[in-house]
Structure 1
Amino acid sequence: MILIVDGGSTKADWIALDKNKKEIFRTTTLGINPSVLSKNEMTDNILSSQELLNIKNDVLQIHFYGAGCGTPKAAKNLQEVLETTFNNSKVFISEDTLGAVYASSGKKPSIVCILGTGSNSCYYDGKNINTSAPSLGYSIMDEASGNYFGKILLRDFYYNKMPKKIASAFQDSFNLDTDLVKMNLYRKPNPNMYLASFAKFMFDYKDEKYIRKMIKKGFQNFFYYRILPFKKDSKTPIYFIGSVAYYFRDILEKVATKNNLTVTDVIQRPIDNLVEFHRNNSF
């Protein structure tokens, strides 16, 4: 049995294939990000799935593409968790950007971007992945991601910078007790997921001027820091992966046009494309 995994900070999508690469089942667990989770937390999230628990001795290969896998220490911690949990398996760990490349452009040169709980980008030349800058995560980078917009929403609410109508709806949607907010930000695990949870609010109010202006500015920052440094023209395909890009595609395309670039495609969940890529290529 083979497991293909798209591991984000909020959730991880798992698909099990048999030796003929036919799908056996699929499941979703809580996120598996080794940069923010301990080994025990990652193990607990994996074993929360009864489907994965049932087949843990039958898996021979795991291809894991995940957020937070870009540093040797984080990747090693995740590898040890997977090898211990699926003790008969050979484990291959790659950054989520490589998974995004496989799920979108395949092996063709392109710029591939992720806009989900976190954000990232790369230029794939057909063989190697190149980045414009290292990703330092949710606290100081991650432009235009869920946690990026979550920070802005929280800050604007507490500074009374939201339009009254939006602020009222925001207050009705979340428990905004200051002690609870600070506990989730500074005492509890996964503050990036907590911040990103507020960004879901934008989907219901995406036609409001305040929301659209915020998103447009966030996307422009992403282009400025994460796409324009590659110095590619409009002939280079640009793919986006993730729910933030998917639900605000119209704004994304306008920002791309403003920068003399074109969005080739937006993929909300890459797991199916990723599996198809594995079916058509040897590993």
Structure 2
Amino acid sequence: MYYPTIDLSSNYSRNFFNIVQVGAGGNGGYLVQRLSKLLYALSEKDKNLEFSYKIIDGDIVEPKNLQRQPFISQDLDQPKAKVLAERYSNAYQIPIFYKDEYINSPDNLHELFNIEYSFGSPIQILIGCVDNNASRQIMHKYFESSNTIIYLDSGIDSVDPEASKESGYSGQVVCGYRRSSKTILAPVGGVYENILTDKDSRLPMEACGQQVVNYPQRMQTNEMAALIMNGYLNTILADHEIVSHYTNFNARNNIVSPTYLTKDMVS
């Protein structure tokens, strides 16, 4: 069956991808594994491919992270972004940069994306791998202020100890796209509007001293979210296309349900 796609290649004169990933925990950590290998493979195949890959997260590795996130005991007490950037930069001999801080305004993202490039405009890709809507609201504002940008966001349900054993397996990945100051595909805040109206969510640095209810996430759900995100990135980086708007999934039942593009979206 034919589904329309968005062709990205006509908007850019050269293959330069400027990638900023916010969050290096559960799904973010597993995404670094996959995306770094994808970037290595694509750059080996296409010598004209250029990229900048930055990871930002202020979290440090704690003992509770060892069960469900891609860290080992030697990583304890180190910044997650630093551990992942150095590990996979060394493994694949590609440049991966990091900043061990949290974002607190769209200006932080502007600084991370700010690259002087002499061969035209790079393709900006913002990747959200966070567990709070306050950070998503910041990324939404940056998306809305950008001329042209791709914004991928993954969100997964937490395990509720008082609920059934089926909790914590669902999630979604949303691909927002903005071109020439016009939103072509709504970002996650446009698809799930409760994200933008959430007044209770706090940024990680604002939660200090407050009682935080911390429900764990399932490793399988984190890995499935990362796998689906990398699928979007594969078609974007390799084929210069966007093939679907968002994908809902359930890691317990292995169900994946994409919402494909319509002709109105690509016209």
If the length of structure 2 is used for normalisation, what is the TM-score? 0.30
Higher relative contact order (CA 8 A, sep 6+): 2
Richer in helix (by share): 1
If the length of structure 1 is used for normalisation, what is the TM-score? 0.29
Richer in strand (by share): 2
